[in-house]
Structure 1
Amino acid sequence: MRLFFLFLILLSELVAYLWFCKGFFPTKVLLTPDEISSFTTNPPDQYVQPSKQFNRVIFMLVDAMRSDFVFSEDSHMNFTQHLINEGYALGYTAFSNPPTVTLPRLKGITTGSIPNFIDAVLNVADNEDTSTLGNQDSWVKQMFLNGWKINMFGDDTWLKLFPKYFSKSDGTSSFYVSDYTIVDRNVTRHLPEQLSKDGLTHWDCMILHFLGLDHIGHKGGSRSANMPSKQIEIDSVVRDVYESLLSKDNNTLMVLLGDHGMNDAGNHGGSSLGEVSAGMVLISKKFKGLDFDQHNNKSLPLPINDEYRYLNTADQIDLVPTLSELVGLDIPINSLGSFIPSILSLYSEKDQLNVLIKNALQLKVLLDKAQNGPRSLLQDQCDITSVNGLLQFIKKAKHILSQTSSDYNYRDLHLGIAAYAVFTVISVILFACRYSSHRLTGILDLTFFMLYGLSFVGSSLIEEEHHFWWLSTIILVVYLSYVSAVKEKSKMSSVALLLVALRILKAWNNSGQKYNDSTYIKIGSYISTLPARVGPNVFATILILSFVPLFVMKVKDSFGVKQNFSQIVSFVSLTMMISVLIAIKLLAYFTGTFDMETGTGELQKWCLVFVCWLQVYSHLETFPEINNELYRLFQYVWIATAVCSLGKPLLYKILGQKGGNKGYTKNVFVLFTLLCISQTNYLNVPLYGIMFVIYYEFKNLVPLDAKNFESSNYFAMLTLVLQNMSFFQFGSTNSLASVDLTNSFNGLTEYNVILSGILTFIANWSSPIFWAIVYVTRSLDSLPRKQFSALKWNCLYDRIVFNLSFYSISGLLLMLSCYNLRFHLFIWTVFSPKLLYFLAWLGCNLLIDLGLSAIIIARDMD
């Protein structure tokens, strides 16, 4: 009954937190077509519709195409650079607004509006109701309404955004990030037909969305060995389109752009310079010979620079009014973009004014709505006879509208905070009752919880939160070492080994958001940069050694003992799962580190034999298909083993036999550790061996005694700090850019939002899940068997009361901080992502620390 009450408190807190988020991430209020007449003012008498420059568009979007991938010395897009140097193309560094993920960026580059931050969450939802733009104005809709025939090939996000707008389409799921060949070949295979003489009669706009470059980044980072060949492939598509069509038709415009960039780790979603700096190139023979306020004196390639600024710069949403006016369409009514000034040279002097007047009038409608009614005429607010005057007005209007693009729902904010505060008081009362006989310990715990919550007042403290957990872990270990040394000095060897293991865990990955780049070489990144003659041997050795502790832990009690059928089956399943995981992670290492299509010449013979063996015996050709089949095999064996392991105690009890509990906690620990490993990036797998050492040495340092309150509290605190510390040391941060999607579709044959959501959660919270399993299994092992039934639920109750107080106090302080700093410069780039991450931590506490632990304890029968 007590646990059920705690469950209701946790669930109620989660609802209150979601209510606060509902008010904090409101739906943007947009101008509707019915409102236009109320706020529209008449154009100046001398205004005429500017002439159309192009009647056909090829919109080629390369997911995550960072600016340096096109313009720098490291770029392999030589033909694209040649077009820019020769004057047939204009290049820009196009800055995108965070969150830098595909769905909100597509909304931005088609409607011209600044998307909601919550669109980052909708980016992974397969729900047309939440992501459609069918009823919103965009250049896609404008083309459709004006009779343009639009064909789309590539990312199926376009099909969700614009249902029924395409004459022909072939969508590919953007979330199978383990594949970077098939997703792009599915696009390019349509080009010969579309560019043929007959094919050109069937479309006016062709949208091509390539995903492979983004997937390579997710798997191997921005410097992946597969990146050069992918850039060459993209460049060859530009060449084919140019030679087949653009070189022969001056009235066709090609737009080549990235929806966002990526950081050096290959991820995106945040606001770092690499993530917001996308490349954009406009290509047409019509540009040749015109006097652009451009960069013709800057010959590509350009030197690498840390700010990713190359050639001219523009906001990505500026493409919307620019493209609309170039093809003679109305500018989408909610666009905040401004016509790119350097392209004005395409027009006559008179039309340059008309182009800018058209842009200014569209922005003035939005300004008038923001000011609750039409004001004066445009000519009363700026000099409509001057290009500079109109540009200044457009720039000012854009700035004002960008600042007022959304608002908070204060009613929901206040209700969410009030409700969460009530449940926080209840949780603290429960904590005080439980710790009434250990007041000093309780006061120290609550002080720690409040210190963590108070860290949310600073943006830098959130960005570099890993420092807080590293310091907390060291202080706790040093204190426990002192307590242990007072009792028994011989345990100092455990302290030394524990500190060494923690330091290796700290040194494995770059951490934090400010200084997380390739210049800080850590162990994991160093292994990934080893040459082909050395790297595979090193990685394979470390990988195999990482599984040894689990294998020995599982079978050591059976050495020299006669085996029964159940133990043989358990041994076989364990061996199969470990073998499959080693094959999976080795294959991931090869494909993520080396170009397996053209760069295998330096690999050692055993590596090539291993890869060929997988291809032959799987009867599959592509590595993503092989990888997926291996994951499915692992998952089948894991599910069968989990059902047997969790159901064994119950089955033995029903049959009236003894021994159902034998090895139960070890089976659970090994099973869930293997599940976490399966969903972990291949470079992080060795960290499980390190964490096992930490767990084992702490067990030697401070033996857990279920009857000893101080011992139980130490273990709860250590579990909490290690859950958080390991989360960050696995490479995660409080930025959406560090969300790992590379394992979100392991074993799936089609997109399923629920299953992929579960896999994504396990992939990103694998280390906290590991420590949650450590807590419950270690707690069960510490109980005396004679009092097992009476005490086992107390272990879970103590854990949840402890966690409930932590998440209640820190969560309330986070909500208050975000409310107080709601107009802060970094509210959307730092504080808002932390709100979403904390929501995931609440889910981890509810689903794993309470839910999964309750299932494990319920099955462990006396």
Structure 2
Amino acid sequence: MAPSSARRAAVDRSVLSRSASFEKVVFLIIDALRRLIRSGAAMPFTMKTGSPSLTRACVKAMTIGSPSIFLDVFHNADDGPGTPETTDTWLAQLKAAGRGELVFYGDDTWIQLFAEVFDRGCPISPLFVPDIHSPDLNVSTNAMRELQRDDWSALVLHFPGIDHVGHMGGADSDFMASKQRQMDAIIREIYEALETEAHLDSTLFVAGGDHGMDRWGGHGGASDPEVSAAMMFISPQFKLLNRTYESPVAPTVGAFDYYTVIRQVDVVPTMAGLLGIPIPSASIGVFAHELLDLWSDIKDRANLVLENLNHLSALFCKSDTGMDVCQTDLDRHHLPQEPLNEKSLAELSLMSKKFQNALDNATSGNIQVSILHYGIAIAVIALLLACATCKSTLPLNRDFLVLNLFQLGHSLALLFPYLVEAEHHFWFWSSTVWMGWVVFTTGCHSYAVGLRSLTPVVLHLLAQRWNIHDRSSPEEVYSILGLLDRRPLCLWLLIAVTLLHTSYTFAAQSRRNVTRDAEDNPLLGLAHRAVLLFIFVFKFASAARIRPGLIDRAPEWLQGIILEQLPLTRIAQFVFVSLAIGLGYVALRSHARDASLKNEKATELLPLLEILNLYLIMQTVPANIPLLFIYRLQLEWLVSSAVHLSPFQVCFAIVLFTHSAFFALGNANTIAALRYTEGFNGLQAHHWLLSPVHTFCSNYAGPIWWSGNGLRLLVATGQGERRSPSGFFEHLGLRTLFVAYGLLGAMAACYLRREEAVVWTVMAPKFLYTVLWTVPFHLLFNMGMPTGLWAVAQL
């Protein structure tokens, strides 16, 4: 990361001191703003953020001037007071100037970061994604009132609505155009106030986005759509420059480079120069050269550029950058001498850019190696302990060799950035090869039977093409979901088939498990179908509210009921309460069973798994629900062949299918792939526990499904029986072995790549996902959930 402090660089006293162009600033940030360029007295730029392109990191870059660090990922979803920043900012410098109060309205990330800076305002939590209107309305109402007052020097506004729309329905959401028009109207109203209100005649208006978004509405990675945002400096004074800008419909160079490109950290020295305050001490930004024309005296311009240059050189020569050049060496860089002109200023700006690039390169790979050492040591200890507890992987036997060859291949793949970004290929191919091997070894010699045995392989290949996996490609990539997206009726038919098959399977299981309380089975079946009906209504209505086009051909009275009158929160709460009651009933009924039935193979496991499956359907986005049907068909075939599988092969199958399902559902090794919509099912506001749990289960629905339902493979091989608990514990040990091996491989790859910039852009997100696989998923769903299911089923 960039140095946290530096001594103030002395300004060249041979040049006359400059004066500030503006006394006040309205700093307006539209979360995930892409393109809101309007005609008028504005200078537009295309601003490039760092990675991760998340709100917290971007706010720090625009105020402190230091590049993003991936640690901000862990703080970005914090709903508490956060960790205040004590680093110097242009906000703190403006407050020290004593020109007036600092006011803030919007995303409370700013208050978490700079709790002591703002004098008044109304922070709001932006974490409740389904609310796309009230946060923006709160900010705009307060902003219009503040524009009538004259006691502030900075009015910071952060609108989260566009970001919420993107997360709900993607960049092409039905609500995106209306939300953009709303933001455009707010910008117009603020600019009109600057023109008409006398106390605002020396006010700078800055409007822009904190980050971009990809076409799915995600952000956090390093792709061009995610790191490109618009930034405008607006003031009636700009009209005196007689500059006009077109509104291009196509970029000039890059995919989103519509105007002059600046870096997000460049906002900091630019704000300092325009407001006449010192540059914050940790800033590595460069003043936007195009704004120098606001000063008519070329000496004022030179003073701005030289102040910026001296500041960067002071950072450049600090020991923690690893550089040898000091500020006293500037004369050897052939600084242009008097007379100053536009050419010499351009050369000075170019030199500042070189310092900036050197600082960025010197700190981009700066990670704490000691922490990696501790982490690798812990992973090695966990691996050794897991090996010691697993009898099926004794040294030099076949399973031991398969384990090591497989994990070694995965670890080697992590050394190549492209393979990390496209990790789905590794899991898709390995799981397909394994499935083919099972078909080959367990199939009969009959041609007809062998042909039917290919069905699970075909289904597996179909699941791999369900979602788009190349998120960095601006082009449309073929996928099954892409076809269904243009034919929503076909998608809903598949969802209905999935639910009907779930109902049929549950009824069949009930008939096979007839006991002394068989009279309860019809009632259980009816309750199960009722919950399925409520789930279908909820999924359809919630999807229609995100994309009203789904029901545009329905009668108006029906559209009104679906979009306005259905209490979706109550419906979701009913489903969750019903599942909780069902879980309790199954546990109590299992406890009351006859001893003779308890000795059978996990008689209550299937009802427990059905409750899990219903929850996962609720937490899966509608487009991916048919995948759970495909997985059920695959599992049925595997269960019929499980008698031929060893304990290691059962665990290996679950490991392969959990990871394959993760990527098949559209996930990737980038923060932008995270989905938030289903994380608020049944909630009316963000909840500190339920929201993260729902969100995690939504993104890991496929892996959780295989981790739980995979126990049926264990039961089919006889390893999950009550009289043989050692087989179950062997299974848990093998799962831990795979997780520890994967953690060691990811940390070793990060260590070997520690000096390269790719450690932040590619390896850091991969490591974050490895942590999620290791801690919450392994502890809760690899170990805790199977243990709970197995224990209840064996009561």
Give the TM-score normalised by structure 2: 0.91
Specify the alignment match of 2:101 in structure 1.
149
Q: Say if 1:264 and 1:518, in contact at 8 Å, map to a contact too.
A: no
Q: Secondary structure at the match of 2:589?
A: helix
| 2:39 is equivalent to residue 82 of structure 1 | yes
Q: Say if 1:649 and 1:661, in contact at 8 Å, map to a contact too.
A: no
Specify the alignment match of 1:648 in structure 2.
589
| Paired AA for residue 819 in structure 1 | Y
- In the alignment, structure 2 segments of 5+ residues that lack a partner are 339-343
Q: Give the superposition deviation at 1:499.
A: 2.6
Q: Quote the Cα distance in structure 2 between the aligned partners of 1:219 and 1:299.
A: 28
Q: Give the superposition deviation at 1:851.
A: 1.3
Q: Secondary structure at the match of 1:667?
A: helix
Q: Say if 1:113 and 1:335, in contact at 8 Å, map to a contact too.
A: yes
Specify the alignment match of 1:858 in structure 2.
791
| 2:661 is equivalent to residue 726 of structure 1 | yes
Q: Give the superposition deviation at 1:266.
A: 1.3
Q: Quote the Cα distance in structure 1 between the aligned partners of 2:602 and 2:419.
A: 46
Q: Say if 1:104 and 1:119, in contact at 8 Å, map to a contact too.
A: yes
Q: Secondary structure at the match of 2:789?
A: helix
| Paired AA for residue 717 in structure 1 | F
Specify the alignment match of 2:370 in structure 1.
411
| Paired AA for residue 235 in structure 1 | D
**Cα separation, partners in 2 of 1:659 and 1:201, compared to 1, 3 Å:** farther
Specify the alignment match of 1:278 in structure 2.
229
**Which residue, out of 44, 47, 53, partners 1:100?**
53
Any residues of structure 2 matched to 1:306-345 within 5 Å, and which?
307-345=255-293
Q: Give the superposition deviation at 1:548.
A: 1.5
**Which residue, out of 576, 583, 594, partners 2:537?**
583
**Which residue, out of 550, 553, 569, partners 1:603?**
553
Any residues of structure 2 matched to 1:713-792 within 5 Å, and which?
713-780=648-715, 782-783=717-718, 788-791=721-724
Q: Give the superposition deviation at 1:486.
A: 4.2
Specify the alignment match of 1:670 in structure 2.
610
Specify the alignment match of 2:341 in structure 1.
none
Specify the alignment match of 1:15 in structure 2.
none
**Cα separation, partners in 2 of 1:608 and 1:306, compared to 1, 3 Å:** farther
Specify the alignment match of 1:806 in structure 2.
738
Deviations 1:562-610 (A, max 9, x none): 97674455335423432232122112321232379xxx7x4322x8516
**Cα separation, partners in 2 of 1:486 and 1:450, compared to 1, 3 Å:** farther
Q: Quote the Cα distance in structure 2 between the aligned partners of 1:816 and 1:202.
A: 55
Q: Quote the Cα distance in structure 2 between the aligned partners of 1:523 and 1:723.
A: 20
Q: Quote the Cα distance in structure 1 between the aligned partners of 2:396 and 2:14.
A: 83
Q: Quote the Cα distance in structure 1 between the aligned partners of 2:565 and 2:370.
A: 62
Q: Secondary structure at the match of 2:261?
A: strand
Q: Give the superposition deviation at 1:219.
A: 1.9
| 2:781 is equivalent to residue 848 of structure 1 | yes
Deviations 1:629-658 (A, max 9, x none): 33323222222222332343235589x998
Specify the alignment match of 2:91 in structure 1.
140
**Which residue, out of 193, 203, 221, partners 1:252?**
203
Deviations 1:754-792 (A, max 9, x none): 3322222212111111001112244235539xx93221x
Percent of aligned pairs with the same amino acid: 24
**Cα separation, partners in 2 of 1:824 and 1:661, compared to 1, 3 Å:** same
Specify the alignment match of 1:695 in structure 2.
635
Q: Secondary structure at the match of 2:47?
A: strand
Q: Say if 1:273 and 1:308, in contact at 8 Å, map to a contact too.
A: yes
Stretch moving more, 268-277 or 185-194: 185-194
- In the alignment, structure 1 segments of 5+ residues that lack a partner are 1-26, 71-79, 619-625
Specify the alignment match of 2:169 in structure 1.
220
| Paired AA for residue 89 in structure 2 | S
Q: Say if 1:384 and 1:390, in contact at 8 Å, map to a contact too.
A: no
Q: Quote the Cα distance in structure 1 between the aligned partners of 2:395 and 2:368.
A: 44
Q: Say if 2:463 and 2:630, in contact at 8 Å, map to a contact too.
A: yes
Q: Say if 2:639 and 2:712, in contact at 8 Å, map to a contact too.
A: no
Deviations 1:491-518 (A, max 9, x none): 3244232133223212211014444x55
Q: Quote the Cα distance in structure 2 between the aligned partners of 1:409 and 1:226.
A: 44
**Which residue, out of 473, 476, 483, partners 2:434?**
476
Any residues of structure 2 matched to 1:391-410 within 5 Å, and which?
391-405=349-363, 407-410=366-369
Q: Secondary structure at the match of 2:524?
A: helix
Q: Give the superposition deviation at 1:188.
A: 2.0
| Paired AA for residue 532 in structure 2 | I
Q: Say if 2:29 and 2:209, in contact at 8 Å, map to a contact too.
A: yes
Q: Secondary structure at the match of 2:210?
A: coil
Q: Give the superposition deviation at 1:711.
A: 4.0
**Cα separation, partners in 2 of 1:611 and 1:728, compared to 1, 3 Å:** farther
**Cα separation, partners in 2 of 1:557 and 1:849, compared to 1, 3 Å:** closer
Q: Quote the Cα distance in structure 2 between the aligned partners of 1:426 and 1:303.
A: 56
Specify the alignment match of 1:522 in structure 2.
479
Deviations 1:686-715 (A, max 9, x none): 211121111122223x1x23xx6x344333
Q: Quote the Cα distance in structure 2 between the aligned partners of 1:301 and 1:455.
A: 40
| Paired AA for residue 581 in structure 1 | I
**Cα separation, partners in 2 of 1:614 and 1:567, compared to 1, 3 Å:** farther
Q: Quote the Cα distance in structure 2 between the aligned partners of 1:438 and 1:334.
A: 55
Any residues of structure 2 matched to 1:445-460 within 5 Å, and which?
445-460=403-418
Specify the alignment match of 1:685 in structure 2.
625
Q: Secondary structure at the match of 1:376?
A: helix
Q: Say if 2:392 and 2:399, in contact at 8 Å, map to a contact too.
A: no
Give the TM-score normalised by structure 1: 0.84
Q: Say if 1:50 and 1:351, in contact at 8 Å, map to a contact too.
A: yes
Specify the alignment match of 1:128 in structure 2.
81
**Which residue, out of 554, 570, 573, partners 1:632?**
573
Q: Give the superposition deviation at 1:118.
A: 1.1
Equivalenced residues, count:
778
Q: Secondary structure at the match of 1:126?
A: coil
Q: Quote the Cα distance in structure 2 between the aligned partners of 1:658 and 1:833.
A: 46
**Cα separation, partners in 2 of 1:405 and 1:445, compared to 1, 3 Å:** closer
Stretch moving more, 401-410 or 90-99: 401-410
Any residues of structure 2 matched to 1:5-44 within 5 Å, and which?
30-31=4-5, 39-40=7-8, 42-44=10-12
Q: Give the superposition deviation at 1:540.
A: 2.9
Deviations 1:282-324 (A, max 9, x none): 11111114166xxx46444446986111011110111111012
Q: Quote the Cα distance in structure 1 between the aligned partners of 2:396 and 2:790.
A: 26
Q: Give the superposition deviation at 1:551.
A: 1.1
Q: Give the superposition deviation at 1:145.
A: 2.5
Q: Secondary structure at the match of 2:721?
A: helix
| Paired AA for residue 349 in structure 1 | I
**Cα separation, partners in 2 of 1:648 and 1:157, compared to 1, 3 Å:** farther
Deviations 1:252-302 (A, max 9, x none): 22111111111122111100011111111111111114166xxx4644444
Q: Give the superposition deviation at 1:458.
A: 0.7
| Paired AA for residue 474 in structure 1 | T
Q: Quote the Cα distance in structure 2 between the aligned partners of 1:150 and 1:82.
A: 29
**Which residue, out of 383, 387, 393, partners 2:345?**
387
